[in-house]
């Protein structure tokens, strides 16, 4: 990582000072057991500070050095058995890494499916529950995304205390239970409640997936893995209505949720065997507990954890960490706003495509209208593959020059401009082609172009922020997810009303101008990101 932040300049001198302090104390107090214990506690405090500062800078290598320094100077400190320790997820075989990535990616495809898969059946649901409220018709779709806003506040801190794997497995089971509850809903209130709980549980793989990837892949390989994982949050909402449309047409809307529950059950079962724990402090913690039993030494401790904070305090800090990150770090705040607006527009599209290509404009049948979501999937896939590869390419360019990669490498100008232009132009294209009732292929191509640009924004911004704060990757993504999910839940509620008042042309033009205003944000951090991160430092 870059040596551009203040926190990255400090760990090494502090470790040296800690080592000198320890050596001095040991040489003058060899026979004093109580002083030895004070020395160990002093060393732990020094290392905790160094580790925390390195983590705040997103420097995984610095954290490893800090932990290695403890192990070398304190016989009770337990860490990895050297840089090539096979138990370290960074050193796992590729097949084990990718099996974990694919499994987590399947989860992140399934849970976002729940946000939109039943969208083609909304008219049938409204008829069955005797409601004509257009706002409620969109909210029953977007309330799921509101669950995404609150779930990360629990999922991220739990994963950073108890590990990733157990969080995935518990959330998967809860998701299946809430999906069954939705399928059995007898009124709109019951359905909205269970839809919210589905989103709450389903947010876990979306929140913690990036953290698992950061645990396993070095910076130069992270973009490709992130692109595979990111397919779920973007592709799930896009392809779900394709199957959902025909399920609704030939069976009924409840079968959408029964199919999801069955798929969720299968993934939950597979996850118990195939999802490996990746969180480094958790793995070393397991090692410490095992060695304590084997050696009978209760003083052994985890070199990757802060030894000066109690478990209760760790939980408290972990819960508030995503909110601190969101509101106290300008890079996260502004980037989250940009991502939230783009994401909200995506869900506005998803919640209104049924009406646009259905009865309102093009007259597609219930089954056929689901096919109108295919372009969203095509655009997401192309954008995911292209931008994931480009971000890694920029990092490798820096490494070939013998230079240390910096987070701002992820915000290359040509990528940011391409993503910003395509998202903005496509909204004007989509809106006016629908307004003029141009052949349906024209607005569908525009939707694909928008989703292509959306993936460019999502990929570059997410990987950039993860590289900045890698130790707290799950909390960073939680901060992003909270903001974008709130916007994604409520912006679609204004969609049909906006179209009724402004028309499809000016309605989407308004969204296009909003994207145009926010598009320069990544360029600002490309130029000034390191300086801003060095100035705004908080204890996480």
Query: Which one, of 178, 160, 234, 254, lies nearest residue 475 by Cα?
Result: 160
Q: Which residue has the higher pLDDT, 61 or 110?
A: 110
pLDDT at 397 over 70: yes
CA dihedral (439, 445, 450, 453) in degrees, to 10, reads -160
pLDDT tens digit sequence for 186-204: 888 898 999 999 999 988 8
In sign, the C-alpha dihedral spanning 320, 175, 167, 208 is negative
pLDDT: which is higher, 475 or 9? 475
What pLDDT score was predicted for residue 32?
42
User: Do the beta carbons of residue 237 and residue 66 sit within 8 Å?
Assistant: no
355-380 pLDDT per residue, tens: 788 766 777 876 677 778 888 888 88
- Residue 64 CA to residue 133 CA, distance in Å, equals 56
Sequence spans of domains, the chain:
1-77, 89-277+317-535
pTM: predicted TM-score of the whole model, two decimal places? 0.68
Which superfamily does CATH assign the domain made up of 89-277+317-535 to? MFS general substrate transporter like domains (1.20.1250.20)
Least confident piece of the model among 54-68, 375-389, 432-446: 54-68
- DSSP assignment string, 261-311: HHHHHHHHHHHHHH-----HHHHHHHHHHHHHHHH--TT-EETTS-TTS-H
DSSP character string of 390-437 = HHHHHHHHHHHTT----GGGGG-HHHHHHHHHHHHHHHHHHHHHHHTT
CB 309 within 8 A of CB 190: no
User: Could you give the CA distance from residue 376 to residue 236 in angstroms, rounded to a whole number?
Assistant: 10
77 strand-pairing partners: 301
Neighbours of 414 (CB within 10 A): 9
At residue 4, the pLDDT reads 37
Determine phi and psi for 3, rounding to 5 degrees: -95, 50
pLDDT tens, position by position, 290-333: 888 888 888 787 777 766 766 677 777 777 887 788 888 888 88
pLDDT band at 396 (very low <50, low <70, confident <90, very high): confident
Looking at the chain, the whole-number percentage of residues with pLDDT higher than 70 is 82
pLDDT recorded at residue 282 = 86
């Amino acid at each position: 990582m870059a040596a551009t932040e203040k926190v990255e300049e400090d760990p090494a001198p502090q470790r040296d000072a800690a080592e000198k302090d320890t050596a001095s104390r040991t040489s003058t107090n060899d026979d004093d057991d109580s002083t030895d214990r004070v020395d160990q506690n002093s060393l732990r405090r020094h290392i905790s500070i160094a580790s925390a500062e390195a983590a705040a800078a997103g420097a995984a290598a610095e954290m490893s050095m800090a932990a290695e320094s403890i192990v070398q100077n304190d016989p009770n400190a337990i860490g990895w058995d050297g840089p090539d320790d096979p138990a370290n997820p960074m050193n796992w075989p590729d097949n084990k890494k990718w099996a974990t990535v694919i499994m987590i990616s399947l989860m992140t495809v399934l849970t976002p499916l729940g946000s939109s898969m039943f969208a083609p059946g909304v008219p049938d649901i409204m008829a069955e529950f005797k409601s004509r409220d257009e706002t409620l018709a969109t909210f029953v779709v977007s309330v799921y995304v509101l669950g995404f806003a609150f779930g990360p506040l629990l999922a991220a801190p739990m994963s950073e205390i108890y590990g990733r794997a157990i969080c995935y497995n518990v959330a998967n089971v809860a998701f299946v239970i809430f999906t069954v509850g939705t399928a059995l809903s007898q009124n709109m209130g019951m359905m909205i409640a269970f839809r919210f709980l589905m989103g709450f549980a389903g947010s876990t793989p979306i929140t913690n997936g990036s953290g698992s990837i950061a645990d396993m892949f070095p910076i130069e390989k992270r973009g490709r893995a992130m692109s595979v994982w990111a397919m779920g949050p973007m592709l799930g909402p896009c392809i779900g209505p394709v199957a959902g449309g025909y399920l609704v047409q030939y069976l009924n809307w409840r079968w959408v949720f029964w199919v999801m529950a069955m798929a969720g059950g299968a993934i939950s079962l597979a996850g118990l065997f195939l999802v490996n724990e990746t969180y480094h402090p958790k793995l070393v913690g397991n090692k410490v507990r095992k060695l304590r039993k084997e050696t009978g030494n209760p003083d052994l401790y985890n070199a990757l954890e802060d030894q000066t904070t109690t478990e209760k305090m760790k939980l408290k800090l972990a819960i508030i960490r995503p909110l601190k990150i969101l509101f106290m770090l300008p890079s996260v705040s502004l980037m989250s706003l940009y991502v939230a607006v783009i994401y909200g527009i995506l869900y506005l599209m998803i919640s209104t495509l049924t009406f646009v290509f259905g009865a309102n404009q093009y007259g597609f049948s219930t089954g056929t209208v689901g096919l109108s979501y295919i372009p969203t999937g095509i655009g997401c896939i192309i954008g995911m593959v292209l931008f994931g590869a480009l971000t890694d390419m920029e990092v490798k360019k820096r490494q070939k020059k013998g230079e240390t990669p910096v987070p701002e490498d992820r915000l290359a100008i040509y990528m940011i401009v391409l993503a910003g232009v395509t998202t903005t132009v496509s909204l004007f294209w989509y809106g006016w082609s629908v307004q003029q009732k141009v052949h349906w292929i024209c607005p569908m191509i525009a939707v694909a172009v928008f989703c292509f640009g959306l993936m460019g924004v999502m990929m570059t911004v997410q990987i950039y922020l993860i590289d900045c704060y890698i130790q707290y990757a799950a909390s960073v993504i939680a901060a992003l997810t909270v903001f974008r999910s709130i916007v994604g839940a409520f912006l679609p509620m204004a969609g049909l009303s906006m179209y009724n008042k402004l028309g499809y042309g000016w309605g989407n033009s308004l969204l296009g101008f909003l994207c145009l205003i926010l598009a320069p944000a990544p360029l600002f951090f490309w130029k000034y990101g390191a300086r801003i991160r060095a100035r705004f430092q908080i204890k996480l």
